[in-house]
Structures are given as structure tokens and as C-alpha cells.
Amino acid sequence: MDTIYVALPYVLVSFVISLILTPLAIKIGLGINAYAIENKRTVHHGKIVRIGGIAMYCAFIITMAIFVHPDKTFNAILVGAAIVFLGGLIDDIFDLKPILKFGFQLVAAVYVIYYGQIQLNEINLPFITINIKPVYALISIIWIAGVTNAINLIDGLDGLSCGTSIVVLCVIGFIAYQMRRIDVAIVALILVGSIGGVLPYNFNPASVFVGDCGALFMGYMIACLSLLGFKSSAFISLAFPLIILFVPLADTCLAIIRRKLKGQKISEADRSHLHHVLMYKIGLSHRNTVLTLYVVSIMFGIDAIVMYFHQTAGLILLVILCFIAWIFIELTGMINPKVHPLIGLCRRICGHPKVSDDAFFEANKKHHNE
């Protein structure tokens, strides 16, 4: 209980500042015509400001200035965050080319790794240990860029990226506290409050979007904190962030594979993301889709916590969750309707599920081909 009381100021101060600044961000967006543009893959209607991330970022910086005296590492993180935020904000206002937007992320990743010394120390895999510093740096750059874009990619429904990020940061903060990384836990709490202050305006029906400036900022901070908080061992450094970020990372990987199989560019948007599948193939409402993904994120977050205290139990739970997730992927054709190895194996072994027009898999296959 004492721990909760100690944690509250970091969350509450950043939350209140963010809550106050969000209407101001909306007014600024209206003044400069920074609206989310409707297209064939969007689900919103009307003019909605897309620079709500300004309130989130400013609340975070102000609260950090109040509570935290950053060292060299956190100064590097803050500089990188400013670079990523600025790139996203320019894109929200002027629509940058994807390669230019990625350039901001790459600069931020290289800066924080070089000046902040945030990267993996050692990679232990079965029967092999990789101890080559350039490899650590490369994997760390890929990790930061990948997580940054993964959070941005799931920013397709009202409140989805914000709520998912809050869940992820709560788990990161809890595990960091257990590892006695109090600095990481405090920054995670400040981020939770900063994002939470925007969420009431961003949840369905949204009156503001966080935009690329907000989503990329959240993704970048999560990527850095995950590397910083879990670098005590190689297994923890690699496994925990992957588990905690399962939803956005899985969605991103599936999108890359799906687009490659279709001969599309990786950066080309589509309507086959996880949230689109839940809405258009499963038939969930906008709000229920977001809440469902919150629950899934919480389940994987719980698994990460279980694994911290009992590795075997955590691994068993992870296998179960991943098996369920893969069956869902096959049933809904998120990669391709013809990719269903587990379902095909079950049919060959026990004859179920049977191939029929009213089976969900077959119905999805027909829908995909139409």
C-alpha cells in the first residue's frame, strides 16, 4: 500500500497536466487544420484533430522536470524522444514521406544507443552465446525502430494505442520496481499519467487523435524503457519485452508477411490489422474491439509478470496464449486464407473442423476472395 502512495504523485501530476493541455492541443489543431484525413481504411468520420500527442509529450516533459534529475542515459532518451516527436509532428501537419519519417526514428535510435549506452549487453541463445558489440547495437536499433512503429501501426482505433501503451508501461513499471530499477519505474509511471490524460478525449468516440507525434513518442519510450529496465540478463532483455508487447509486435509482423505475400510495399496500408479483423470479420463494435485488445494485452502482461516470479509457469501460459492466438490467425486469414497448418493438421488427424461453407474458416476464405 505504501508503494501505491509513493507512486501516485508521478501518475496524478502528469495526468492532470495532460488532461488540461489536451483541449489546448485540440484548439491548436483546429487553428492549423491538422486533421486526420478520411480514406478507405480509416473508421472515423468528420474532422478530428490529430496532434493530441502534443499534450502527452508536454505533460511528460513538465513532470520529468518536476520529479526527475536525469543522468546521461535519461538525457539521451529525452533527446531521442524529442527527435521522434518532432518527426511525427511534422508528419501530422505536412505528411512526410515514410522514408523521411523513418529517418527521424533511426537518428533517435542511434543517438540513444551511442550517447545513452542503451542496448543489450549479451545474447544467450540455446547452445550459443553472441558476444559481439556491433550485433548488440544493430539488434537494439531494430528493436527501438520496430517497437516505435508497432505502437504507431495499432493506432487505428479510438484509444487503442493509448490504452495498450498504458497496460505495457504498467507491466514495465512493475517489473522494473521488482528489479530495483526505481528510475525506470518512475519514468514509466509519468508516462502512464501523461497518456492517461489524453485517453478520455481519445477513447471512442474520440474528439482528438494522438497522431504520429503521440504514437511514435509512446513507442519510442516503451522501446527504450524495455531495454533499460530488463538488461540485467539476456533472457529477460529479449523475452519480457516480446511478451509484454505481443499484440502490437505480432500485428506488425503479420502485416509485413501479409503484404509481402500480396506483393505490396511494407509501408502500404491495408484493412487487415488485428483491430480491423475484430471489427469487420468478427463483427465487434468499435468500442468492444478496443476493450477486447486491452484484455489481450493485459493477459500477456500478466504472463510476463508470472514468468518473472516463476519461469516455467510463465512459459506454459505463454505457449497456451500463443496457441490460441495462432488458431485465431488461421481462422481469420490474417496472413492468408490458405495458410492454416494447424487446422489442416487437425482435419487430417481427427476430421475436424470439417470443410463446409458455413465453417468460419471457409466463410472467411470466400469473403477474402470476393
pLDDT at 21: 97
Q: Which pLDDT tens digit goes with each residue over 194-213?
A: 999 999 999 988 899 999 99
Of residues 287 and 241, the one with the higher pLDDT is 287
pLDDT at 120: 66
How far is C-alpha 189 from the chain's CA centre? 17
Total Cβ atoms within 10 A of residue 287? 14
Under the banding of pLDDT at 50, 70 and 90, the label for residue 367 is very low
**Which residues, other chains included, contact 119 with Cβ-Cβ below 8 Å and sequence gap of 6+?**
113, 136, 137, 139, 140, 227
Asked if 310 contacts 178 with a C-beta cutoff of 8 angstroms, the reply is no
Is 70 exceeded by the pLDDT of residue 158?
A: yes
Q: Considering only 21-30, 153-162, 265-274, 303-312, which range has the smallest mean pLDDT?
A: 265-274
Asked if 340 contacts 263 with a C-beta cutoff of 8 angstroms, the reply is no
Q: What is the grid cell recorded at 88?
A: 511525427
pLDDT at 241: 78
Of residues 276 and 175, the one with the higher pLDDT is 175
pLDDT at 236: 55
Alpha carbon distances (Å) from 179 to 7, 159, 174, 239: 16, 30, 9, 15
Sign of CA dihedral 201, 205, 209, 214: positive
Is 90 exceeded by the pLDDT of residue 349?
A: no
Is 50 exceeded by the pLDDT of residue 161?
A: yes
**Which residues, other chains included, contact 149 with Cβ-Cβ below 8 Å and sequence gap of 6+?**
105, 216, 219, 252
The whole model's pTM is what? 0.87
As a whole-number percent, the residues of the chain with pLDDT over 70 amount to 83
Asked if 266 contacts 194 with a C-beta cutoff of 8 angstroms, the reply is no
Q: Which pLDDT tens digit goes with each residue over 177-187?
A: 988 889 999 99
* Nearest one of 340, 353, 298, 354 to 321, comparing CA atoms: 298
pLDDT at 232: 52
**Which residues, other chains included, contact 365 with Cβ-Cβ below 8 Å and sequence gap of 6+?**
333, 337, 338
Partners of 123 in the β-ladder: 130
Of residues 217 and 70, the one with the higher pLDDT is 217
pLDDT mean over 65-73: 92
Q: Which pLDDT tens digit goes with each residue over 108-118?
A: 999 999 898 88
Alpha carbon distances (Å) from 177 to 71, 188, 189, 303, 308: 18, 10, 11, 17, 12
Alpha carbon distances (Å) from 227 to 71, 119, 202, 232: 16, 6, 28, 10
